Structure 1
Amino acid sequence: MDRISALRNVEEALADFESGETDLRATERRVVNVLRTYATEFEDEELSVYRASGTEQADGVVVVAESEGQARERVAERVDGEASGFELCEVR
């Protein structure tokens, strides 16, 4: 899924919410699913998608980065911790 498709899908979810066709919970699920699909199908020659696991705070955190080192730093920033104590795997 490219960025434009993702944005259109999010816009459709918001429009359905605004019109009363869906509730907040359903809208949140749709938006999260769009983002997950976008992240796992992310195509950029210089960037990769990484998922953290291991520590409770880092488990499931997904970031886009140029390298594993940069991904480790980005995860650490999000979990207010050091760039250690968790494992990374490239999502493809």
Structure 2
Amino acid sequence: MDRISALRNVEDALADFEAGEADLEATERRVLTVLRTYATEFEEETLSAYRASGAPSVEGLVVVAESPAQARRRVRELTATEPEADSDDEDGDWGAFEVDPVE
């Protein structure tokens, strides 16, 4: 789904809400579905969605990045999760969480 399609779908959901054709809960579900679809179906080949797991502070967080290493950095930035000090990995020891591609 491209950005324009996503925006149109969100706009349609809001219009239905404003017209009284949908309640808040249904509108939230619809908008969330649009966002999840948009976030996991990038047409640009250089970006992918990654889901973090492991530490409670990052569990289920989805970020968009060019690589798993960049995804780990983005998760760390968003959650203020620090790599372990004794790391020998060039990107830091991310033992507190992992990132996996969203399919």
Question: TM-score, normalized by length of structure 2?
Answer: 0.81
Q: Secondary structure at the match of 1:53?
A: strand
RMSD: 1.3
Number of aligned residue pairs: 92
Deviation at 1:12, TM superposition (A): 0.3
Counterpart check, 1:71 vs 2:82: no
Unaligned runs of 5+ in 1: none
Match of 2:99 in 1: 88
Give distance in 1, aligned partners of 2:50 and 2:21: 35
Q: Give the equivalent residue in structure 2 for 1:45.
A: 45
* Structure 2 gap segments, 5+ residues each: 84-93
Question: Max radius of gyration: which structure?
Answer: 2
Q: Which amino acid aligns with 2:47?
A: L
Matches of 2:7 and 2:26, distance apart in 1: 17
Q: TM-score normalized by structure 1?
A: 0.89
d(CA) in 1 for partners of 2:58, 2:6: 25
Question: Paired residue for 2:14?
Answer: 14
Bigger proportion of residues as helix: 1
